[in-house]
Chain A
Amino acid sequence: MNLVVALQKEANPIIQAYGLDKEQGCPLPFYFKENRRLIISGIGRARVSAATAYLMGRFPEKNQPWLNLGIAGHGSLNTGQMFVAGRIIETGSSQCFYPPQIITSEVPVSELTTCGKPQKKYQPNMGYDMEAHAFYQTACLVSTRELVQVLKVVSDNPKQPISQFKPEQASKWIEAKLPEIDHWITELTEAALSIKPNPEINKLLSRITQRGGFSTTRSLQMGSLLRQADALGEDLGALEGMLTDVGSPKQMLAEIEQILSNKRTLP
């Protein structure tokens, strides 16, 4: 799970709740524990794009869950209320994103406009932030759209405009929403795991092709056969064992094809 947060005050409750450790020497404040990572981007589209790209570069695995979390203005919701962005637009841009909502949750889904500066005018049913659009655009380069989500807690609205906002409130509002935030993190993480290919296939492919003699085509054929073997319930370890004494790539492919041939019919 990659969390991208604009401000330290927004991030503190998350850092504490998950016991994240700060990594020294990073260009941006970066916290982590096991597979949970949090980066503090700073405000605005350029900063959030850079922070997201930084995480993408360091952790290039595809289809990880990504969450942009922070505070936002809103035209209708109360301060302290959380929403998930279901439609993200940006002032001055025609590009519009619709993060598919696969997580069952009580959190309302709202439109969100990413602006270049804080908004003082509010439209009904519209949220306002300064990062989500750029975050979504960037994170979707490496992850499927369902796994990239934007959660915002309302910091200002027509009744309590941004001029009355006190930054220290950000931590309190985020902290109050930790159970819901945790639900999202858990669900997105599980969703990502559910579509993750069996990592053993690529490891085995790598071991087999390292034996040498594999052209690009033969490597692709071997990868395809190993995936099929896995789908057909073949024990990959046992399969590797059977190939120990088989010589050329061509013979290995033929051997696996032979092993699978009797299993390709649905039971």
Chain B
Amino acid sequence: MINSIYLENSIREHPKARSILSRFPKANVLPCEHYKEVFNPAGQNFRLQKKNPALILAKQTGKLLHSIPPSYGVGGSRNFYFSHLLNCLYDCRYCFLQGMYPSAHFVHFINSEDFMSVIKQTTEESEEPSWFFSGYDCDSLALESITGFAGEFLPFFSKLPNAWLELRTKSANLQVLENQTPFDNVVIAFSFTPEEIGKQTEWKVPPLDSRIRAMKKAASMGWKVGWRIDPVIDSTDFKKRYEELFDSLLCNLPIQQLHSVSLGAFRMPSGFFKKMEKTYPSEPLFAGKLEKRAGMMAYEKNLEKNRLTTCENLLLQRIPKELLFSCKSPVV
């Protein structure tokens, strides 16, 4: 799966780097001074690289924690995201990463000790619970076999009761959760789209039914579970498809085990969209009923409102109001 690995010179002897390298004895390993030398140059093609992405092992020396956009939280008032990994194993056509990053290579920051240190420090700064979202620039669990991220961070968060961790994923492989005793301050947040839409837009993603089974299993183990209905994608039979999805989710999860549901429309900065459109010129999704508003590409205003309201109403017929969170787009 990984044929090429780039390794920052400064972490050549880092035990985690050595451990990862030992798992890929056949990979070609190349040195680099800084991951940005490989990742950032202009003139790369995300689509071509996605066929065979390399792994870059690096140390994050920049900012380790970032504030999340206002209204993207799920109940907390202190919200941050952090990225142990840039890019995703999956290939969802609606994903903003393909417009944001110049490269499809996976960048794995191995200095988890630095992330943990800043998370601990930030948590201790306030008596208010702090939320840490790990799946903004990647899927939290899809590359667990390489990164060992959750295996490392779950025990850490288990000893930090005033800090919440969201693991956001489309993975159906939750072995790492089986190896850990569940605890309260973690939410396993599964992203879902209706099956018919997923088949048109989500490549390399496990089938919906296996992800629903994974969600059910996580809940049965005692983990708190979240649904992330974001982005909402317009399609024919929209209401019916989302209704079926929500019913199917609810059938497989007792409501008391649902921590939160978040809902967000398809939207992204127009610069990202332009790049994605150029990368995939034949993608029907990008020829949808979209418009540019305040520097963002999103569905036409009325359509967006209609689709979000439809989903919101469908959800509120099934879940308590306090569990539903709307990721309000900055689009006006």
Q: A residues bordering B, Cβ < 8 Å?
A: 63, 86-87, 96, 98, 100-104, 108-111, 140, 144-147, 191, 194-195, 197-198, 227-233, 260, 264-267
Given A194-B48, A267-B200, does the pair A230, B282 have CB atoms closer than 8 Å? yes
List of B residues within 8 angstroms of A63 by Cβ: 45
A146 & B284 in contact (Cβ 8 Å cutoff): no
Show 5 A/B contacts (Cβ-Cβ < 8 Å), sorted by A: A108-B28, A198-B282, A264-B288, A266-B235, A266-B285
Contact B287 A100 (CB under 8 A): no
Check if A98 sits within 8 Å of B38, measured CB to CB.
yes
Closest 3 CB pairs of A and B: A109-B28, A228-B287, A266-B235
> Chain B residues near A145 (CB, 8 Å)?
41, 43-45
Chain B positions within 8 Å of A86 at CB level: 4, 28, 30
Contact pick for B32, options A87, A191, A195, CB 8 Å: A87
Q: In chain B between 20 and 65, which residues have their CB closer than 8 angstroms to a CB of chain A?
A: 28, 30-33, 37-38, 41, 43-45, 47-49, 51-52, 54
Are the C-beta atoms of B32 and A232 separated by less than 8 Å? Answer: no
CB distance from B286 to the nearest CB of A (A): 7
Closest residue of chain B to A84 (Cβ to Cβ) is B28
Q: Which residues of A contact B49 (CB under 8 A)?
A: 100, 102, 146
Flag whether B245 is at the interface (Cβ < 8 A). no
Q: Is the CB of B105 within 8 A of A267?
A: no
Quick one: which of B285-306 are within 8 Å of A by CB?
A: 285-289
Interface residues on B, range: 35 or more
Interface flag for B181 (CB, 8 Å): no
| A140: B residues at CB distance < 8 A | 43
Inter-subunit contact A197/B281 (CB<8 Å)? yes
A142 to chain B, nearest CB (A): 10
Chain A, residue nearest B300 (CB):
A264
Residues of chain B within 8 A of A101, CB atoms compared: 3-4, 28, 52, 54
| A194 CB contacts on chain B under 8 angstroms | 47-48
Which residues of B lie under 8 Å from residue A198 when comparing CB positions? 281-282
A144 and B45 form a contact (CB under 8 A): yes
Complex formed: what's the CA distance from A101 to B52 in Å?
Answer: 7
Decide: A265 and B288 in contact? CB cutoff 8 A.
Answer: yes
With a cutoff of 8 Å between Cβ atoms, the chain A residues found around residue B235 in the complex are 265-267
From B32, B197, B233, B282, A98 is in contact (CB under 8 Å) with: B32
Q: Which A residues are CB-close (under 8 A) to B234? A: 265-266
Q: Which residue of chain A has its CB nearest to the CB of B278?
A: A197
A103 and B30 alpha carbons, distance in the complex (Å): 16
Kindly report which residue of chain B lies nearest to residue A146, judged by CB atoms: B48
Contact: B48 with A102, CB < 8 Å? yes
Instruction: Name, among A230, A260, A266, the residue most crowded by chain B CB atoms within 10 Å (CB to CB).
Output: A266
A204 to chain B, nearest CB (A): 14
Q: Are B4 and A109 in contact (CB under 8 A)?
A: yes
